[in-house]
Structures are given as C-alpha cells and as structure tokens.
Amino acid sequence: MSGWSPQSPSGPVVVGVAFAYAVVLAYLVLIRGAILLGVIVGLVVVAVYFLWRLLVAVEAVTDGAHRIADEREQN
C-alpha cells in the first residue's frame, strides 16, 4: 500500500462550517421554532461532505489506474 492518504478538511474550515450550522440551527429553533428544518439542513451538510469524500475516493482510484496503465505501457 502506498503512503497516499485522502485530503481532509482543514481545521478552520471545519470550525467555520460547524459555527455556521450552529448559528442556522439556533435561528431555526429559537426564532422560527422549526427544529425539523434544522435537522434537514444538517443532513444536507453531511451529505455534501460524504459526496466530497466519494469524489476524493474516485479520484484516487482513477489515479491508481493511470499509474498501473503507465507502468504496463513502460514494460
């Protein structure tokens, strides 16, 4: 196995997203009284994160396939 590891979101990005979600959730619960809408927003944020991780994984697979093809081409 190679030393490659997938990219992770940086600390400030995670803190920023968590803070923004906390503000939105507080608004939706305290002002609007719509906790379900806050949960839906949270699920959207998590879904976007998982789609980003899927994209990173697919890029890693295609990169590996390209490296294998290049190695076979040289031999």
Q: Which is nearest to 46 in space by CA: 21, 13, 27, 12?
A: 21
Domain count, the chain: 1
Quick check: pTM over 0.85? no
3, part of any domain = no
64, part of any domain = yes
**23 or 35: whose pLDDT is higher?**
23
6, part of any domain = no
34, part of any domain = yes
**Does the pLDDT at position 1 exceed 50?**
no
Burial class (CB in 10 A: 0-12, 13-18, 19+), 19: exposed
Range of the domain at 45: 11-74
What average pLDDT does range 3-18 have in this prediction?
Answer: 79
Residue 23 has a pLDDT of 93
Residue linked to tokens 């040289």:
74
5, part of any domain = no
Across the chain, mean pLDDT equals 86
Residue 75 has a pLDDT of 77
Distance CA 59, CA 50 (A): 14
What average pLDDT does range 48-67 have in this prediction?
Answer: 90
